[in-house]
Amino acid sequence: MGDEFYAIIKLVSGEEIMSLIMVDENDGDPVVVLQNPVTIKMVENKNTVYIKVKPWIENSSEDFFIVKLDKIITMSETTDKKMIEVYNNYIMSDGNNIFNDEMNGQVKPSQKMGYISSVEDARNSLEKIFKDTNN
């Protein structure tokens, strides 16, 4: 067995998958061993881009799959830390498959999103405006 590395693979079927892989060349007929392969899709929603992660084979309880080299168009090692983090978070999670932040899909509001003050500050400000207009 060769070294393990993260890669994005394009299959002859058109599927693009990401996986931790190893290349096995023992018998003269090399194969690629995929560990927990997933499909990754970018999903845009208004002002946010999400990464949707799904298992490559959804109804299998197996973690390892073998693919012959003639079924692979291209394979590219990835060192993108964010993609590797998303992949590892998905593997460690229990089916929560949409990530847009390190906080398992939770986003803290910012001023760029329209968050200006706390609820208490906004309430005080609005009460002051209301009291000033009634006098």
The string of pLDDT tens digits covering residues 61-70 is 888 999 988 8
Do strands 72-77 and 48-55 pair parallel, antiparallel, or not at all (unpaired)? unpaired
> Residue 126's pLDDT is what?
87
The residue among 35, 41, 36 whose CA lies nearest residue 53 is 41
> Residue 130's pLDDT is what?
84
Tell me how far apart the alpha carbons of residues 81 and 51 are, in angstroms, rounded to a whole number: 14
Domain count, the chain: 1
Tell me how far apart the alpha carbons of residues 124 and 96 are, in angstroms, rounded to a whole number: 38
The boundaries of the domain holding residue 36 are: 5-134
Tell me how far apart the alpha carbons of residues 70 and 57 are, in angstroms, rounded to a whole number: 19
The predicted model scores a pTM of 0.61
Whether the pLDDT of residue 45 is over 70: the answer is yes
Kindly state the average pLDDT of the residues 21-48: 85
pLDDT tens across 93-105, in order?
Answer: 755 444 444 445 5
Whether the pLDDT of residue 51 is over 90: the answer is no
Beta bridge partners of 49: 44
Is 36 in contact with 20 (CB distance < 8 Å)? yes
Tell me how far apart the alpha carbons of residues 29 and 26 are, in angstroms, rounded to a whole number: 7
Length of the chain in residues, anyone? 135
> Residue 100's pLDDT is what?
46
Beta bridge partners of 101: none
The residue among 66, 59, 3 whose CA lies nearest residue 34 is 66
- Better-scored residue on pLDDT, 89 or 75: 75
Whether the pLDDT of residue 73 is over 90: the answer is yes
The CATH code of the domain that includes 33 is: 2.30.30.100
